[in-house]
Chains A and B, each alone.
Chain A
């Protein structure tokens, strides 16, 4: 059963890629991709619940544990929502002849992220992360406007350069291991964790910091976040949702697994503090740029920087509470950010601009989906009764009970700043004065509204009720991650 689900998750997107490329029909490609995303979601939804001990596949190159399963589930959720949305949105955006290529890339992008969640070998994990960059570059540059090409260029250069630091860190860690285990060994997460306590602490610290900066670039932690607002704002809306809701989590997975390695080695405060500092910096940068933002999608992008900072803080504070909060935050953020990008995409199509100054009286144009978007905006700032409130609250509690009290206090202050800044923009967009230029009146199909419902309802449910089953999974993952120390 588990093996079947696992195989389906990894095969279905590939079938969609092959189908879209072989049979170059736009309608066929979009429905095939939609079908694949539904299948992936159904298969991935069960994974974290049925995995108790890690399972290994393919000569140990792939494995399935609860953490990987959870990240894959978040990816699958975003893939499903974005695929539904793309059916409506991409018909507005691109001509039919480009659609099969788009869906092939789209499904391929989902596949690379799902793969990265299951990779067991740290070298292959690096490659999987690099693969996500390569595929998504073309999605970012898909519109071929000068801005999209600029964003794609910055994306590939900044992220590839950053991620070579992670490769350097990986090489140093492998070298450290080879001094103990002999020249050739299988570099799995578990081996690295077992060998870490015997490894030289200098090498281990240096390796971890390099890996943190390298994958941190991909996560979009400040000050390595510079590619993120450009790429997220210039790609088509479904791609932005995938980048923000799924890709960043996948890269964060790498940092979390390396953090478990340094925890097992017990080399002191440095790794966690480094992560907490990067987290605080990201929340700070997010807050500053949210307050004075002018583009609607860049607003969402900086909000992603902020939320990745919060995730980093959650894992950095650690403890069962911090880890559980951060994992819960992953899912909530995936749902919420997809909702926000979908709303932003609809608004951009209707008003024909990205500038928030020209977007006014949204409720007038979108009586129903406008309300959904507004609810999402309230949710993303961490207000109750939505899921992000619960997860941010647990992360804060973890911070207050840990040694990094200062970080928790700074985070709280910045969250309030973000709450005010974010809702001020939305207040202006919803209740501001009528703009001079009239909206274009593009018809937004039901495909573009349905996924907003699909995202908001679970978000509300997760905010009112933290399911016991999820808590159980989080406890398992947290104990797995902290296994070396406790």
Chain B
């Protein structure tokens, strides 16, 4: 495994990038402005692209350079652009109805991190790889998963849901770069695939807007019950 024998400089750069990505998911969690989510998501995608390029360099996986480029193109540029366009058309600046105040949700997010850390520790000791970078990768992978689900459940705007979904996948993406860099074809396809998901979401969203102009809050989605 790459992570088992990594030189210290590379290990610390990897750690820095993973921690920075995790912090960016907290930016998404702590803000109520949709534009902030979008910028945080964009920067996170750039960081992940950087990480895949570095993993490709240190681990000698030339395919990962291609993946880095695809990540930047699709997740770093195209998706934020699409989201911005939608935001401009919708005239929704921020979440109006908050289930949890940003400060409270940050605390819940912190609990998620602690939980993920404990989980990651147990897994990595069970496997016999107690290296810092493995623990860190697992922690960030689980944290971003939990934070993504948290965003999906406490936010109501359609755009937040899309970004929450993308955050779920960013987490897996980031973790798998470090843990299993030799899984290239799958990752490649997944990158392209997420874009399709996003485009499909936007398609549905736009139809939804055509059907009921005005609100894109999931609070309005309450016709189908029981």
Contact = CB atoms under 8 A, between A and B. Distances in A.
A175 B179 contact: yes
B221 A154 contact: yes
B180 A183 contact: yes
Interface stretch (B6-14, B29-37, B40-48, B120-128): B120-128
Given A200-B127, A202-B127, A152 B204 contact: yes
A294 interface: yes
Nearest to A231: B224
Interface in B185-226: 185-186, 189-190, 193, 196-197, 200-201, 203-205, 207-208, 210-212, 218, 221, 223-224, 226
A470 interface: no
B221 A153 contact: yes
A229 B225 CA distance: 9
A206 B141 contact: no
Contacts of A321: none
B115 interface: no
Given A156-B201, A200-B127, A294 B221 contact: no
B161 interface: yes
B224 A147 contact: yes
A161 B164 CA distance: 9
Contacts of A203: 123, 126-127
Contacts of B1: 178-179, 183
Interface stretch (A7-15, A138-146, A403-411, A415-423): A138-146
Interface in A139-169: 141, 144-147, 149-154, 156-157, 160-161, 164-165, 167-168
Contact of B186 (A124, A147, A175, A294): A124
B127 A150 contact: no
Contact of B158 (A147, A153, A187): A153
Contacts of A151: 224
Interface in B99-146: 122-123, 126-127, 129, 141, 145
B126 to A, nearest CB: 4
B172 interface: yes
A123 interface: yes
Contact of B190 (A127, A144, A229): A127
A198 to B, nearest CB: 12
Contacts of B180: 171, 174-175, 178, 183
B158 A161 contact: no
A206 B119 CA distance: 11
Nearest to A130: B193
B169 A164 contact: yes
B181 interface: yes
A147 B208 CA distance: 10
Contact of B196 (A134, A144, A185): A134
Nearest to A147: B223
A132 to B, nearest CB: 12
Contact of B193 (A127, A184, A292): A127
Contacts of A171: 172, 175-176, 179-180, 183
A147 B122 CA distance: 45
A134 B207 CA distance: 15
Interface string B158-171: 10010011001100
B149 interface: yes
A76 to B, nearest CB: 26
Contacts of B152: 157, 161
B145 A168 contact: yes
Contacts of A200: 126-127
A289 B226 CA distance: 7
Nearest to A143: B211
Nearest to A210: B145
A167 B197 CA distance: 14
A293 interface: yes
B73 interface: no
Contact of A145 (B123, B145, B172, B211): B211
Contacts of A127: 186, 189-190, 193
B56 to A, nearest CB: 13
A183 B180 CA distance: 7
Contact of B168 (A145, A149, A164, A174): A164
B223 A183 contact: no
A230 B224 contact: yes
A463 to B, nearest CB: 32
A187 B208 CA distance: 39
A233 interface: yes
A138 B204 CA distance: 7
A360 B24 CA distance: 58
B17 to A, nearest CB: 18
A31 to B, nearest CB: 28
Given A146-B212, A149-B207, A229-B224, A160 B197 contact: yes
Given A134-B200, A200-B126, A157 B165 contact: yes
A165 B184 CA distance: 19
Contact of B165 (A145, A160, A293): A160
A295 B224 CA distance: 10
Contact of B204 (A121, A153, A161): A153
B2 interface: yes
Given A150-B221, A171-B176, A184-B183, A137 B200 contact: yes
The 3 closest A-B pairs by CB, nearest first: A184-B182, A123-B186, A183-B182
6 contacts: A124-B186, A153-B205, A161-B165, A167-B190, A171-B180, A184-B182
Interface of B: 1-2, 122-123, 126-127, 129, 141, 145, 148-149, 152, 158, 161, 164-165, 168-169, 172, 175-176, 179-186, 189-190, 193, 196-197, 200-201, 203-205, 207-208, 210-212, 218, 221, 223-224, 226
Given A134-B200, A161-B165, 20 more contacts: A121-B186, A123-B183, A145-B211, A146-B212, A149-B212, A154-B221, A157-B201, A161-B149, A175-B180, A178-B182, A179-B1, A182-B182, A183-B181, A184-B182, A187-B186, A200-B127, A202-B123, A230-B224, A233-B224, A294-B226
